[in-house]
Copies of this chain bind each other. A is one copy, B any other.
Amino acid sequence: MAKKRASITDLAQQLNISISTVSRALSGHSAISEATVKRVTALAKELGYQPNSLASGLRKGRSNMLGVVVPHIDGNFFSQVVKGIEAAASKAGYHVLICQSNEDVVHERANVETLMNAQVEGILVSLSRTTREMRHFEKVRKRDIPLVFFDRILDGFDVNAVVLDDRAGGYRATKHLLEQGYRRIAHFTGPQHLNIYKLRRQGYEDALREYGLPVAEDLILLGDMKMDDGSAGMRQLLTLPQPPDAVFSGSDFSAAGALQVLTERGLRAPEDIGLVGFSNELFSRLTAPQLTSIDQHCELMGRSATSLLFQIMQEREQHYAPRHVVLQPDLFVRASSLRLGQPA
């Protein structure tokens, strides 16, 4: 029943030396004789001594903690990013405090507040879907707490960020469909104030224009990117006088929803309608047919965001201009869009 945790003071008393010596011995500090170091570490192990990181954090003005705010932690994308963040952080001896905004800017505000008084040394944020302004990050900047955004950012705010080249993703997805001979390509997109959907759409339009094709407003469906939105979208597209021959969906979920509607109606991908999703979700290999999709390198994004944060933490005083890291997406071609066979 060893209730009280042993402290550095206990060690000092039992060894009849000062606490400063114990502290230095344990931290491998400069000039402590090997003999004392050994005595100290021996007793430390015996008593199962664990340094109190709150105390040391208080004294050193550091907490060894990073804060993360994500819209939600489940789902493929964010859980993988967080995996990357945790891996990178713990390698550097940092802990990770995780908060979910639940796609709600009110929560998000509370989250950054709560992270700040947890004394985190840096904050990683992916904006909630309902975030349309950045005032709640002012305080963070005032306090000089390093701040890095990832994936979702807001237009017109100059911030440190690691993002995917979503435009390139949209472009490559669409171009792939074009190369497969599809010519009337629809697009499912999401809230346009979010960089990710806006850029995917831009890439889509760029590719169309490159092929001299019109951008038809009735082929661009705005939704919430869930499965149901995909199903609804596909149903709507099928009612058009001139339905599309392919769909590039800004999310795998709506692509899957669309796919289900196709199957219900006895239509087939890629023969009747080509289909490309976005995110390369786990299930994209499991649908029938398997779903062509854009991979976002989620875990890498987490690691990159964390190293960027570390960089900024080190350069602390020098206020460099905000930095952007842009990750290139990859196209994973699968059956749902392969009408002509695998390209070379």
Contacts and interface: CB of A to CB of B under 8 A. Distances in A.
A63 B54 contact: yes
B96 A97 contact: yes
User: So how many copies of this chain end up in the complex?
Assistant: 2
Contacts of A151: none
Given A90-B99, A283-B283, A288-B263, A58 B48 contact: no
Given A50-B117, A118-B95, A256-B286, A100 B86 contact: yes
Contact of A144 (B3, B48, B86, B95): B3
Contacts of A76: 74
Nearest to A75: B79
A213 interface: no
Size class of the contact patch on chain A: 35 or more
Contacts of A75: 79
Contact of A54 (B97, B119, B142, B282): B119
A73 interface: yes
Interface in A81-117: 82-83, 86-87, 90, 95-100, 113-114, 116-117
A131 interface: no
Given A54-B54, A256-B286, A288-B288, A114 B139 contact: no
Interface in A27-85: 48, 50-55, 57-58, 63-65, 72-76, 78-80, 82-83
Contacts of A54: 54, 57-58, 63, 119
10 contacts: A2-B142, A58-B58, A64-B118, A73-B79, A73-B82, A73-B83, A82-B98, A95-B118, A96-B98, A283-B287
